[in-house]
Amino acid sequence: MMTKLNFWDWLAFILVIIGALNWGLVGFLNWDLVAAIFGAMSTISRIVYALVGLAGIYMLFAMPMYMRKEKQ
């Protein structure tokens, strides 16, 4: 039985994907999309980076819980 994702799970998932894509662009092309859109280390960029980091921490703890539920 699959567990439904709630709003926070989806938000965290989307933010982690954004972060992964941004890091991929940095690694492959040396281009930071967030900085290009909002300015290098502007307040908004820092908020985006912080939200992506918090989403990663959230997913770190949430996903194992979902994995256990699906095995049952």
Mean pLDDT per 10-residue run, the chain (72 residues)? 82 96 97 96 97 96 78 61
pLDDT at residue 69, as a whole number: 67
Instruction: Tokens 């290009």: give the residue.
Output: 36
**DSSP character string of 7-24:** HHHHHHHHHHHHHHHHHH
Distance CA 34, CA 48 (A): 8
Domain coordinates in residue numbering, the chain: 7-71
d(CA 6, CA 66): 12
Look up the pTM and report it.
0.83
Distance spanning both ends of the chain, measured CA to CA: 8
Residue 41: the pLDDT is 94
| SS3 call for 6 | coil
